[in-house]
Amino acid sequence: MNNSKVIHPMETKRTRWFLIATGLLVAAALIAPWASAFQPKEGETITALESRLREAMAAKFPQAKVRSVTVLDADLVEVFTGDQLLYAHKSGKWFIRGQQYSTETGANLSMQRLEVLQKVDFKSLPTKGAIEYHVPGATRTVAIFSDPRCGFCKRLEAELAKQSEFNVRVYPIAMLGPESRKVVRDISCSPQASIAWRKYLIDNIPPPASDDAKCDAKDADNLLSLSRELGVGGTPTLFFEDGTRMVGALPIDQVRQRALR
């Protein structure tokens, strides 16, 4: 196998590039026992090597939830953890957590790559447990994973409540601990969850306490599990019909532009 060959589509113009690292993590003592896993075996295919590297990374760093490992060139591999990219040397002696930029165009190649890797099948996103706001005549929908106690989520919700161009589907999730879980539970079990949600986020009016005997929190728990499967690392995280995502309390004009394109 010729390991000097650039095999990733994004790497066809990698003659000049650099990594701007936000953090360099060196753990030679810990990584040494599995460093040999990064060495290609004679006659091994790229697919087999990547599969083996993924197993090695996942075994050593289970908290990283490795989704994929892609060989970029003779020395470098890309590790996708759902919400970020890491770059590791195939010796296994170090890896970098940072952004990769093109010196030719200045483009953030890591962000471009993440957009591809994080794409979802929008139509496959469930509606069960979601809170939906329908706008008459609107043909597009934006799905949002939101924690009710998240300040950025509250700011975005206030803007979304004013717009009249696209539908909004909210997935209430409790990322900020037990208090968020109680609020999510109470809102989800409210007879008018869509009203209770915006009253809490926009007007800071708590929902009525739910009856534990009558309220099933399974949907809320399922949505939290779904968010983890999708690599949602923070709230709000927005998904658009083209499968792409955006994170944070973005200006409503930016959300509108992406939603309607």
pLDDT (0 to 100) of residue 121? 93
pLDDT (0 to 100) of residue 40? 60
What token pair was written down for 67? Answer: 């989704």
Contact 247, 234 (CB under 8 A): yes
Strand positions, DSSP E, 160-220? 167-172
pLDDT (0 to 100) of residue 237? 95
Task: Indicate the SS3 state at residue 70.
Answer: strand
pLDDT (0 to 100) of residue 109? 87
Contact 79, 85 (CB under 8 A): yes
pLDDT (0 to 100) of residue 37? 54
pLDDT (0 to 100) of residue 68? 80
pLDDT (0 to 100) of residue 23? 34
> From residue 180, how far is each of 107, 129, 142, 188, 230 by CA, in Å?
38, 16, 22, 12, 20
Helical ranges in 21-174 per DSSP H: 28-31, 46-60, 109-117, 151-160
pLDDT (0 to 100) of residue 44? 65
Q: Tens digits of per-residue pLDDT, 63-79?
A: 767 778 888 877 788 88
pLDDT (0 to 100) of residue 54? 73
* Gap between the Cα atoms of 77 and 95, Å rounded: 9
pLDDT (0 to 100) of residue 25? 34
- Ranges in the chain, pLDDT < 50: 1-35
